[in-house]
Structure 1
Amino acid sequence: MYFRIDRGVSIGHRLKGTTMSNRRLVCLEFGPPENLTFEDSPVPSPGPGEVLVKITAAGVGFFDGLMVQGLYQIKPPLPYYPGSEFAGTVAEQGDGAHHFKVGTRVMGLSGGSFADYICVSEKDCTEIPPNLSDEVASGFCANYSTGLYGLQTCGQLQPGETALILGASGGIGSSGITIAKALGARVIAAASTQAKLDLALASGADAGVLYSKDDWRSDFRQALGEDTLNVVYDPVGGSISETAFRCLSPGGRFLVIGFASGTIPSIPLNLPLLKQSSIVGVDWGGAAVAQSNLTRGLLKNLAQWIQDKKLKPAPVTVRPLSSAPSALAEQIGGEVIGKLVLKNEA
């Protein structure tokens, strides 16, 4: 996951001549989401190359739940301001910011997005396509950028190949289905319940299997038929990862996205040797830090796909921003199907 950790408004970066306040969710100590509270702070003003965005909606991800518990690979300093993706309207431009005029609808990635306002680098956002609502746009950036970078750049998924998408009903999984289909691949979805699998099939998967069944590998072979399995897209981890790897055809690519199951798998290294296949870590965050224009490039490509009707984002479930603590609790509890977003009532 790529984000800018938001510890609040920097000294000297206040919105000049205003008494407006900025409501934002704050994590004062790591723990369950129920401990999170809202605070009022001054509205920030954008620094060089930044824009001030009035947030209309913000996406909720599994990553956000890990961060507030202190369980992510990177533990942020406290106080920590949750949220990592947003949609909104440009309210002010910083020095040197020229891509987006005031009033432009934008979507992007930045820490601290569970708030009324944030300042964000122009490189980390793009204009929202006219045929996309703010609510859908706010839950679009992280998952679909991960999917495009993972499947196209890391996985080298080609038209006519087959991809197995694990955790197919979640935000990462459902976006993976959509991206793989847009790249011209055949998609087999894998989920833990029939309701989740039905959602994955409705998202465009060509076939599906339940990995909660003991013999799901047999069901997968039947779904695969005469095709080869070229790519596994795994945001789940745990015991299903090794089984999924064993399903790969020679020359396949196993993409490590994350570990929503809470367990990091231990895949025997003789399997890549015997399968003549590779395990590829999809560290989009690290790549985005090393390549400053990567995020904006991915978002622009995805926005163009939407305008061209090559890509149709999945529907989202909308909650008020004030319900952020309970929404995060549902997210980390595995209760959310699809993508959950928070709409700003302000």
Structure 2
Amino acid sequence: MPQPDVTADARAAASASPVPAEMRAWRVTRLGEPAEALSLDVVPVPAPGPGEVLVRVASVAANFPDVLLCRGEYQVKPELPFSPGIELVGTVAAAGADVSGVAVGDRVVGSKIGVLSEYAVLPASDVWRAPDALADAEAAGLTVAYQTAWFGLHRRAALRSGEWLLVHAAAGGVGLAAVQLGAAAGARVIGVVGSEAKAAVARDAGAEVVLVRGADDLVAGVKAATGGHGADVVFDPVGGAAFEASTKCVAFEGRIIVVGFAGGRIQSLPAGHLLVKNYSVVGLHWGLYPRVRPDLIDDARAELTRLAGDGVVRPVVDRVVPFAQAPEALTALAGGSTVGRVVIQVAS
């Protein structure tokens, strides 16, 4: 349901509400599974410096990197203790000097490690106004998954209308984003899901064909769906066996986009096979773009805002859990049973 335009009221409320001295924050105090690694602590509210904003956090979307951060397995390894959480929706409560683009009272979405708390400081360049068309639970999951999918499909794969797009983990957060954005671009989408129960979600998101991992023969299914042509673009956040199967059904001059390794195994690249079949394997690390090509980030944000306003993209929310149950939310995400996004509601 579209959000009302509450910018003026939100600014007035934010200006009238003093920022407290302390806040609650979930922090990793020792490495391990989320239930054993996380501690709910009372800590000082941080102050924004030049170019930074303080955001009163409304909701945080759980991501698989949060689980890896708890385990100490993520590529970024903050010093203990630290807060996980990498994307949020909230309201700008205060701003440091030299801030442009957003103002106190703006409802924003953004991304930075450490936002699983009642307040969070982020660079102003890392937040943007939340689309009015999305409720908080939906908007919380827009930044990471949808920009990852957008850059993977449009920047790295140069996806074209009419091409066949194969999406692994098509009922997960980033997979559903890729399905929705691929369908919006005119691609013919084949989704791979972990169970029959998840198939309907992928179809609703725009997948023309859905294959169930373990029940369907992925290679044969892709070849049958495409009339032997194969997948022009493969979006792969799983890796391992999923990647290996993709190499057997990728089209001539196809592109396999390596997004992550949620399956737990990092595959080796078959260089000889790439040569013989004439396809490309392309890596995607979305986190580099804000620093290296911020101009492209602006393009992605504008396009996602437009698509959200048109009702074309809408993050699928599996469940919303209260702030006190954040460890349970990350445990559910790690178990692979969720569909779409698990959202942690921080502010009531």
Question: TM-score over 0.5 for the alignment?
Answer: yes
Deviates more, 1:34-43 or 1:304-313: 304-313
Which residue, out of 45, 48, 51, partners 1:49? 51
Per-residue deviation, 1:193: 1.2
Matches within 5 A, 1:326-345: 326-345=328-347
| Counterpart Cα distance in 1 of 2:287 and 2:333 | 21
1:192 aligns with 2:226: no
2:114 alignment counterpart: 112
User: Is 1:33 equivalent to 2:72 in the alignment?
Assistant: no
1:287 paired residue number: 289
- Aligned pair partner of 2:181 in 179, 194, 198: 179
Q: Which runs of 5+ in 2 are unaligned?
A: 1-17
* Aligned-pair CA distance for 1:226: 6.0
Other-structure match for 1:127: 129
The amino acid of 1:166's aligned partner reads: H
Question: Helix, strand or coil: the match of 1:252?
Answer: strand
Post-superposition CA distance 1:59-105 (Å, at most 9, x none): 10111101110011232221121000000011111111132222111
- Give SS of 1:156's match: coil
- 1-structure distance, mates of 2:241, 2:263: 9
Give the conservation status (yes or no) of the 8 Å contact 1:211–1:240: no
Task: Report the equivalent of 1:169.
Answer: 171
Tell me what 2:14 maps to: none
Superposed displacement of residue 262, structure 1: 0.5
Partner of 2:149: 147
Instruction: Output aligned runs, 1:289-304, within 5 Å.
Output: 289-304=291-306
Distance 1:327 1:19 in 2: 27
Task: Give the SS at the match of 1:219.
Answer: helix
Map Cα deviations across residues 229-249 of structure 1 (whole Å, 9 max, x no partner).
Answer: 210000011212111121011
Instruction: Indicate which of 56, 61, 64 corresponds to 2:63.
Output: 61
CA distance in 1, matches of 2:213, 2:19: 55
1:227 Cα offset (Å):
5.1
- In 1, Cα distance between the equivalents of 2:80 and 2:209? 45
Percent identity at matched positions? 34
1:25 partner amino acid: W
Aligned residues: 330
Out of 156, 159, 162, the position equivalent to 1:160 is 162
Out of 102, 105, 108, the position equivalent to 1:103 is 105
Tell me if structure 1 keeps the 8 A contact 2:22–2:43. yes
Amino acid at match of 2:258: V
My pick for the range that moved more, 169-178 or 311-320, is 311-320
The secondary structure found in structure 1 opposite 2:70 is helix
1:318 is aligned to: 320
Does structure 2 conserve the Cα–Cα contact (< 8 Å) formed by 1:191 and 1:212? Answer: no
Structure 1 position 314, deviation (Å): 2.6
State the match for 2:93 in structure 1.
91
Partners of 2:137 and 2:216 in 1: CA distance: 38
Contact 1:148 1:298 in 2 (8 A): yes
**What's the CA shift for 1:292?**
4.0
Change (3 A) 1:124 1:316: farther
User: Does the 8 A contact of 2:19 with 2:93 survive in 1?
Assistant: no
Are positions 1:23 and 2:24 aligned together?
yes
Q: Secondary structure at the match of 2:80?
A: coil
2:81 pairs with one of 56, 79, 82: 79
Which ranges of 4 or more aligned residues in structure 1 deviate by more than 6 Å?
none
Report the CA distance between 1:289 and its aligned residue. 2.7
Cα distance in 2, alignment partners of residues 109 and 297 from structure 1:
16
Supply the distance in 1 between the matched residues of 2:323 and 2:335 (Cα, whole angstroms): 19
CA distance in structure 1 between the aligned counterparts of 2:235 and 2:209, rounded to whole angstroms:
15
TM-score (norm 1): 0.90
Shift of 1:228: 4.6
**CA contact 1:178–1:313 (8 Å) conserved in 2:** no
Contact 1:51–1:91 (8 Å) recurs in 2: yes
Residues 176-218 of structure 1, C-alpha deviation per residue, up to 9 Å, x if partnerless? 1011112221100011211122221122111111231363321
Cα displacement string for residues 84-127 of structure 1 (whole angstroms, at most 9, x for unaligned residues): 00000111111111322221110010121111101111111111
Letter in 1 for 2:307: W
Q: Cα offset for 1:20? A: 3.1
Question: What amino acid is aligned across from residue 333 of structure 2 in structure 1?
Answer: Q
* Aligned residue type for 1:180: G
Tell me the SS of whatever aligns to 2:109: strand
Partner of 1:257: 259
Mapped to 2, the partners of 1:130 and 1:345 lie a distance apart of: 18
Separation (CA, whole Å) in 1 of partners of 2:45 and 2:257: 40
Q: Which moved more, 1:213-222 or 1:324-333?
A: 213-222
Q: How far apart, in 2, do the equivalents of 1:19 and 1:138 lie?
A: 23
The corresponding residue for 2:270 is 268
Aligned alpha-carbon RMSD (Å): 1.7
Please state how far the C-alpha of 1:299 moved relative to its aligned partner. 2.4
Q: Which moved more, 1:289-298 or 1:216-225?
A: 289-298
